[in-house]
């Protein structure tokens, strides 16, 4: 990981600081990408990194991003969104938001960056979720479909791009993020996954010598 240029997309989100810290600790150079310029600038300063604003659900935006960023050794896509609703009453806009944030972001990032990743024998990491792993869940139709799509998409890329290490990271429970603490004030975070543990597991899996981890389900302590 030392000296690797690693694009971190969704870098303004809750999970990003743990990944950025882990990357910097391992000697990598993170490059931050997101939609919220203010949040990105603050984080980029904190990690001594460059940042780029892009809408990852827009293929023209990801192509322009790849052009601007230049060669990278890794892409970590942390972009995503969550909402719950029964399928029969899901607003079409909510459905499209789940697909765009969770799945289209990964598809268009992969499309734009795979040539560079293959050239440098790099890696691509996407984040699924328990709902995608289990192929569903009550009130999770749009979210689960998007996250199952993440697994299917990464499976296709794994066989198409033998020079790229592909990792599907699958948090099997809630992560202890500020957003989840706000959304579930009565829940006990001790039963959640620690962001630092998730980031360390993912980077260890990517750096594995002599083999490849493709899908990595991560459970909270005690599960
Ligand atoms: N937190 C959990 O418990 C949990 C559990 C399982 C899986 N995951 C997955 O882990 C990943 C990171 O989670 P998180 O908690 O960090 O989520 P988060 O705090 O909601 O951050 C997600 C980030 O993605 C960005 N994003 C969404 N759509 C985008 C687009 N079209 N272009 C560019 N950026 C876009 C968001 O930007 P804006 O702020 O502009 O919307 C936000 O900064 C997500 O894929 C999530 O589904 C999380």
pLDDT per residue over 77-121, tens digit each? 999 999 999 999 999 999 999 999 999 999 999 999 999 999 999
In this prediction, residue 161 carries a pLDDT of 98
Residue 23 counted as domain residue: yes
Residue 202 counted as domain residue: no
Rounded mean pLDDT, 22-51 = 96
In this prediction, residue 175 carries a pLDDT of 98
Rounded mean pLDDT, 191-206 = 98
Residue for token digits 């995608």? Answer: 132
Pocket test for ligand 1, best of 101, 173, 181, 193 (most atoms within 8 A of CB): 101
Which pLDDT band, with edges at 50, 70 and 90, does 222 fall under? confident
Residue 215 counted as domain residue: no
Please state the pTM of the whole predicted model: 0.98
Rounded mean pLDDT, 14-41 = 96
Residue 209 counted as domain residue: no
- Residues framing ligand 1 (Cβ under 6 A): 10, 12-15, 34-36, 55-57, 78-82, 100-102, 105, 127, 129, 171, 174-175, 177, 179-180
Domain count, the chain: 1
Pocket test for ligand 1, best of 80, 82, 192 (most atoms within 8 A of CB): 80
Q: Which two tokens stand for residue 87?
A: 């399928």
In this prediction, residue 223 carries a pLDDT of 86
Which pLDDT band, with edges at 50, 70 and 90, does 56 fall under? very high
Residue 201 counted as domain residue: no
Assign residue 109 the CATH number of its domain: 3.40.50.720
Spell out the residues 6+ positions from residue 47 whose beta carbon is closer than 8 angstroms to its own.
20, 21, 24, 30, 32
Q: How far is CA 179 from the centre of its chain?
A: 16
Pocket test for ligand 1, best of 61, 78, 171 (most atoms within 8 A of CB): 78
Query: Mean pLDDT, the chain, as a whole number?
Result: 97
Q: What is the pLDDT of residues 134-190, one digit of tens each?
A: 999 999 999 999 999 999 999 999 999 999 999 999 999 999 999 999 999 999 999
Percent of the chain with pLDDT over 70: 100
Q: Is the pLDDT of residue 48 over 90?
A: yes
Smallest CA separation from ligand 1 atom 48, residue: 175
In this prediction, residue 1 carries a pLDDT of 84
Percent of the chain with pLDDT over 90: 98
CA distances 6 to 20, 77, 149, 183, 214, Å, are: 10, 10, 23, 30, 19
CA 116 / ligand 1 centre spacing (Å): 24
Atom of ligand 1 nearest to the CA of 56: 32
Atom of ligand 1 nearest to the CA of 175: 3
What's the order of all strands across the beta sheet hosting 50-53?
A: 50-53, 29-34, 5-9, 74-77, 123-127, 165-171, 215-218
How far is it, in rounded angstroms, from Cα 204 to Cα 72?
19
Atom of ligand 1 nearest to the CA of 36: 40
Structural domain range at position 19: 5-164
Atom of ligand 1 nearest to the CA of 82: 47
Residue 213 counted as domain residue: no
Q: How far is CA 66 from the centre of its chain?
A: 17
Smallest CA separation from ligand 1 atom 28, residue: 101
Smallest CA separation from ligand 1 atom 40, residue: 35
Rounded mean pLDDT, 24-46 = 95
């Amino acid at each position: 990981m030392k000296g690797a240029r690693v694009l971190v997309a969704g870098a303004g989100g809750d999970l990003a600081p743990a990944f950025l810290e882990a990357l910097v600790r391992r000697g990598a150079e993170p490059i931050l990408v997101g939609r919220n310029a203010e949040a990105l600038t603050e984080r980029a300063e904190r990690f001594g990194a460059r940042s780029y604003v892009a809408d990852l659900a827009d293929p023209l935006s990801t192509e322009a991003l790849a052009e601007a960023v230049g060669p990278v050794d890794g892409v970590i896509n942390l972009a995503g969104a969550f909402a719950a609703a029964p399928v029969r009453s899901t607003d079409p806009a909510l459905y499209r938001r789940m697909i765009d944030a969770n799945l289209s972001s990964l598809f268009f990032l992969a499309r734009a960056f795979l040539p560079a990743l293959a050239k440098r024998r790099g890696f691509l990491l996407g984040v699924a979720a328990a709902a995608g792993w289990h192929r569903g869940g009550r009130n999770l139709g749009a979210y689960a479909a998007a996250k199952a799509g993440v697994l299917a998409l990464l499976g296709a890329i794994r066989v198409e791009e033998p020079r790229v290490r592909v990792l599907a990271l699958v948090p099997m429970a809630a992560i202890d993020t500020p957003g989840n603490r706000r959304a579930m004030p009565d829940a006990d975070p001790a039963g959640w996954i620690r962001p630092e543990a998730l980031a360390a597991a993912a980077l260890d899996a990517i750096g594995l010598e002599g083999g490849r981890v493709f899908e990595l389900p991560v459970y909270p302590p005690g599960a």
